Amino acid sequence: MSSSNRVTRRVFGAGVVAASLAGIAPAGAQGTPKRGGTLVATWGGGEPQACYVPAGGGSSPTFSSSKLFERLGNRTMEGKFRGELAESWKPAADFKSYTIKIRKGVKFHDGKDMTVDDVVYSISEIWKKYAAASALTDFAGITAPDADTVVMTFNTPIPEFFFASLLCGNVNYIVPKHVYAGSDPVTNPANNAPIGTGPWKFKEWVRGSHFEYVKNDAYWRKDLPYMDRLIIRYVRDPAGRAAAMEAGDIHIGVFNPVAPPDIKRLIGTGKFVATPKGYEESVWSTTLECNMRNPVFAKREVRQAMFHAIDRNFLAKTIYYGYARPGTSPIYSPNKEFYTTDTFSTAFDPKKAAALLDAAGYPKKADGKRFAVNLLAAGWFTENGKIGAYVKQALEDVGVAVNLSVPDRPTSIKRIYTDYDFDMAISNQANPSEPVPSTTQYFTTDGIKKGVPFRNANGYSNPEVDALVEKIKVETDPAKRKALVFQFEKIITVEAPLLPILELESITVASTKVQNHSNDPNYLAATWYDIWLAS
């Protein structure tokens, strides 16, 4: 049971990294944790549609619900898996079933014990149908042989990395059966006042302003959390967040709370730290996709041309002030397991883009235009609108007329993921290391789910990709699996239905008073059980 705290100098100043390996409160350089007090947190986005959305619903509900619910497992900063509500898990010899030992003595916020029944219910009813529906396509069933064991069985062999990642999935929570059984989980009123096992208990939601959570006195990690209250405040505007942080009203903001130029200014005051740590398992990208329902995009050369027309370095440098890198593959570069540079490159080359379009049968007409597209830039991040303005210009330079729209969040989600009302769309996604299904569902035929946000919205359907993903799903030999994923990356970069144009460097900005933060590779979705505020 080791714990370590070290202060490292990062690009942006000092980032405090606390790695706690065994779920024990780390103590160290900062002295004895101070108990009590209120921590106010925010994130670089808006208020969620509900506090908890069983199917995920994007980062905003993940941020708000992950403080209240817990998962069976999570990951350390070193990339290792560890148990949270599970104590351990192991595969059978044929990898078709896994035995999970459940932690004892865990209580829900309403005082009822968490039992294997809750685990069985959560996995078979919530994960299977909503939270991890696309990951659990080969799920056969789950049984509870005794009071602290469950056995999950599958129709096909399941790789260990995949299984462990499943237990750590963003919203793969253990929810109380007595609250959800017999209801429609999507509309259950408890979603707006969740009852979980996490370190924080829901108190109230003042819509348009904040969530108030209080300390869970019966939390299974003894004597934690340190703080009495956690407030999640929503501020619509990055400049407003910067002002609130400077005034001391907000202590920590995850996921780019302030505009890039303000990050440097805040660090300059000496009262804040900024760190890119805590996003290793949730790397964000800005994606550009071509709607396959538009016959113009039927030829892959046309799609490739769209990407050749765009200078990704310019976007990274100008719009993100260097806090981004050009995207090169559907698997992102921080992914130690599966990233490869051996992919098809659609680097900035407007001449090649024009040549590809000429060859594909779309020469410039008398008015200098080849065809017209509706470009939708999802308005949930301010930067998307700016990227949209640049992409419009870049495409017009190669003779594609562009009509840009930048709708607000609900309208963007509806137009991209329900109505498919776009020719090209700029959206965002965040993916963990395990590519199935988070990454693959943007490209497979079974990822086309009308009305489900952040899936295959462009309608790309290729039997070759589908078959490859099926192979990746069941390959239990880690080396062979890696090779298959590399192959997937190659095909997708050639086909270019959707590609990340930028990998975003997400930044957490925190007051120097905040201790034990950014200590989880997916910090936005971590439970924050050990955070505390120095005086």
Partner 1 sequence: MQRFEFIGRFARNRGALIGAVLILVVALMALLAPLVFPVDPLRIVGQPELWPGEDPDFPLGTDSLGRDMLSMIMHGARATLLIGLFASAVATLIGVSVGAIAGYFGGWIDEIAMRAAELFQTIPNLIFVLTIVVILGSTLTNIVIAIGVVSWTPIARMTRAEFLSLRDREFVQACRAMGMGDLKIIAAEILPNALPPVIVLSSLVVAGAILFESAVSFLGLGDPNVASWGRLVGDGRQLIRSSWYICAIPGVAIMITVLCLNLIGDGLNDALNPKLRDR
| CB 146 to partner 1: min, Å | 55
Q: Is 310 in the site for partner 1 (CB under 8 A)?
A: no
| CB 261 to partner 1: min, Å | 5
* DSSP tag of 318: I
Token digits of residue 131: 């939270």
Backbone angles phi, psi at 140, to 5 degrees: -100, -35
| CB 313 to partner 1: min, Å | 13
Among residues 3, 192, 333, 382, the one that binds partner 1 under rule CB under 8 A: 382
Among residues 393, 450, 464, 534, the one that binds partner 1 under rule CB under 8 A: 393
Backbone region of residue 312 per phi and psi (left: phi > 0; alpha: psi in -120 to 50; beta: other values): alpha
| CB 321 to partner 1: min, Å | 9
Q: Is 405 in the site for partner 1 (CB under 8 A)?
A: yes
> DSSP letters of 99-154?
EEEEPSS-B-TTSPBP-HHHHHHIIIIIIIIIITTTT-TTEEEEEEEETTEEEEEE
Q: Which is nearer to partner 1, 167 or 309 (by Cβ)? A: 309
Among residues 342, 408, 419, 464, the one that binds partner 1 under rule CB under 8 A: 408
* DSSP tag of 319: I
Q: Three-state SS string across 412-472, please? A: HHHHHHHCCCCCEEEEEEEECCCCCCCCHHHCCHHHCCCCCCCCCCCCCCCHHHHHHHHHH
Give, as ranges, the residues between 446 and 465 that touch partner 1 (CB under 8 A). Answer: none
Q: Is 403 in the site for partner 1 (CB under 8 A)?
A: yes
Q: Is 30 in the site for partner 1 (CB under 8 A)?
A: no
Q: Three-state SS string across 343-412, please? A: CCCCCCCHHHHHHHHHHCCCCCCCCCCCEEEEEEECCCCHHHHHHHHHHHHHHHHCCEEEEEECCCHHHH
Q: Is 257 in the site for partner 1 (CB under 8 A)?
A: no
Say how many C-beta atoms besides its own lie within 10 A of residue 157's C-beta.
Answer: 18
| CB 404 to partner 1: min, Å | 5
Q: How many residues does the chain have?
A: 535
Torsion of CA 314, 320, 321, 323, to 10 degrees: -110
Q: Is 404 in the site for partner 1 (CB under 8 A)?
A: yes
Q: Which is nearer to partner 1, 61 or 388 (by Cβ)? A: 388
| CB 410 to partner 1: min, Å | 9
Among residues 7, 389, 448, 491, the one that binds partner 1 under rule CB under 8 A: 389
Q: Is 407 in the site for partner 1 (CB under 8 A)?
A: yes
Among residues 261, 361, 363, 451, the one that binds partner 1 under rule CB under 8 A: 261
Q: Which is nearer to partner 1, 313 or 411 (by Cβ)? A: 411
Q: Which is nearer to partner 1, 244 or 465 (by Cβ)? A: 244
Q: Is 237 in the site for partner 1 (CB under 8 A)?
A: yes
Sites of contact with partner 1 (CB under 8 A) = 237-239, 242, 259, 261-262, 265, 318-319, 377, 379, 382, 385-386, 388-390, 392-393, 396, 403-408, 411
